């Protein structure tokens, strides 16, 4: 093998990626598909930063058009100040990866240049070496669910997942929708399962998902639908993905940019794994405080798999720390990252940033075992990276 560092970098950059959690939609589904530099700038990470860095009037800001908002974000965060935060660096990575010279330029000039590239979603997938992404699909949102009415998009690249949150937060609305779609049922449990069966056939989801705060996690196993939902998931052989620890609307005035972190009690996750050993559980936690315990839990259950660095966890300093911890405790038996992208272009920076961190962390670990006389080969590194980026996901989702 040539130089170890270079070999790892090359392999990490060339390996195909299976992105297990995104909020992307195919370009053909125009109403929901987001792309372009204006959408990138208008993301809630940057909006929260704008609100707390400047004294801008929040209500007035939200009344502006997307382009007007992007313009303000560009002027305030990228021209008047140094764009040094992770969210700002993400924008710089996208622009520099696409060779757009942004120095001393206004938002309009950049937007013009960017639009001329006419980037398609599949070109962006190619730049980032992404083969498959899992969407987040809400079967209780009639308008969004129209995606599955005509599948004139690449169903091998865009896989579905079923977001079940509404059953736990907006039950009356859910039951109404179920009743409109299902004619014969015995009781409400039967109704919900029959509706899930219907949307399963329409979308072929690779997992079902829920985002829970601590209170919701605590009462989860007592919910009257949970046991039937688990039985159904087991029959379908798909995992339940749990995103734990968002505290919604810490600051209501900020709207979408106003969510924060909740402290969660992971004993409840342990209990879920114990009570449903035949169900597979995917889990990502939002708070740094929960990462050590979560990683240890992943050593205790065959049916639990950790994935990704979610939202506030997706900061290089924390990734470095926790990625090392995960390798130390789990070897390569976890799914290291997901993009959570809502705007297709975000894939470029989310994966670019992570690949740099992963290469460095892997280098340190390979170097250490080399010092203990282990002979690491190029093939073995390729195989390891492929597990992390693709095969661990493929296997856990039973897609072999």
- Which positions lie near Zn ion, rule CB under 5 A? 340
Q: Among residues 340 and 384, whose Cβ is nearest to Zn ion?
A: 340
**Tally of CB atoms within 10 A around 104:** 7
Q: Least distance (Å) from Zn ion to the CB of residue 346? A: 12
Provide DSSP, 337-387.
-----SSTTHHHHHHHHHHHHHHHHHHHHHHHHHHTT----HHHHHHHHHI
Q: Least distance (Å) from Zn ion to the CB of residue 23? A: 6
Q: Among residues 308 and 387, whose Cβ is nearest to Zn ion?
A: 308
Residue whose structure tokens are 């995606």? 147
Residue 17 phi, psi dihedral angles, 5° rounding: -115, 140
Q: Which residues pair with 158 in a beta bridge?
A: 133
Q: Which residue is nearest to Zn ion (CB)?
A: 340
Q: Least distance (Å) from Zn ion to the CB of residue 306? A: 15
Q: Least distance (Å) from Zn ion to the CB of residue 290? A: 17
The angle formed by the CA atoms of residues 316, 317 and 318, to the nearest 5 degrees, is: 90
Q: Among residues 290 and 340, whose Cβ is nearest to Zn ion?
A: 340
Q: Least distance (Å) from Zn ion to the CB of residue 311? A: 7
Q: Among residues 343 and 361, whose Cβ is nearest to Zn ion?
A: 343
Q: Among residues 283 and 376, whose Cβ is nearest to Zn ion?
A: 283
Q: Among residues 110 and 286, whose Cβ is nearest to Zn ion?
A: 286
Distances (CA, A) of 296 to 13, 187, 264, 281, 388: 29, 40, 15, 15, 18
Taking the C-alpha atoms of residue 168 and residue 171, their distance in angstroms, rounded to an integer, is 6
Q: Are 235 and 259 in contact (CB under 8 A)?
A: no
Q: Least distance (Å) from Zn ion to the CB of residue 278? A: 26
């Amino acid at each position: 093998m040539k130089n170890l560092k270079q070999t790892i970098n090359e392999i990490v950059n060339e390996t195909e990626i299976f992105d297990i959690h995104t909020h992307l939609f195919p370009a053909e589904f125009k109403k929901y598909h987001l792309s372009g530099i204006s959408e990138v700038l208008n993301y809630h990470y940057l909006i929260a930063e704008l609100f707390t860095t400047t004294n801008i009037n929040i209500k007035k800001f939200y009344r502006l058009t997307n382009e007007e908002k992007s313009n303000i974000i560009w002027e305030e965060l990228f021209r008047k100040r140094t764009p040094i935060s992770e969210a700002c660096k993400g924008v710089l990575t996208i622009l520099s990866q696409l060779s757009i010279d942004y120095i001393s330029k206004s938002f309009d000039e950049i937007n013009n240049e960017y639009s001329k590239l006419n980037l398609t979603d599949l070109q962006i997938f190619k730049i980032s070496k992404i083969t498959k992404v899992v969407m987040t699909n809400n079967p209780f949102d009639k308008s969004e669910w129209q995606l599955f009415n005509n599948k004139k998009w690449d169903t091998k690249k865009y896989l579905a997942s079923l977001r079940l949150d509404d059953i736990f937060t907006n039950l009356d609305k859910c039951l109404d929708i179920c009743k409109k779609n299902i004619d014969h049922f015995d009781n409400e449990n039967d109704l919900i399962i029959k509706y899930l069966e219907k949307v399963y056939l329409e979308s072929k989801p690779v997992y079902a998902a829920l985002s829970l705060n601590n209170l919701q996690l605590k009462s989860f196993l007592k919910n009257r639908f949970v046991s039937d939902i688990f039985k159904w998931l087991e029959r379908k052989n798909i995992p339940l993905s749990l995103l734990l620890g968002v505290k919604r609307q810490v600051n209501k005035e900020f709207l979408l940019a106003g969510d924060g972190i909740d402290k969660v009690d992971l004993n409840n996750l342990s209990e879920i794994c114990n009570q449903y050993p035949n169900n597979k559980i995917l889990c990502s936690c939002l708070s740094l405080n929960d990462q050590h315990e979560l990683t240890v839990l992943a050593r205790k259950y065959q049916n639990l798999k950790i994935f990704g660095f979610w939202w506030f966890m997706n900061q290089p300093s924390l990734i470095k720390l926790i990625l090392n911890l995960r390798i130390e405790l789990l070897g390569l038996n976890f799914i290291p990252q997901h993009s959570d992208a809502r705007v297709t272009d975000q894939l470029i920076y989310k994966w670019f940033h992570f690949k740099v961190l992963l290469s460095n962390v892997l280098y340190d670990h390979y170097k250490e075992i080399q010092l203990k006389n282990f002979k690491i080969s190029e093939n073995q590194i390729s195989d390891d990276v492929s597990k992390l980026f693709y095969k661990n996901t493929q296997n856990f989702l039973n897609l072999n």
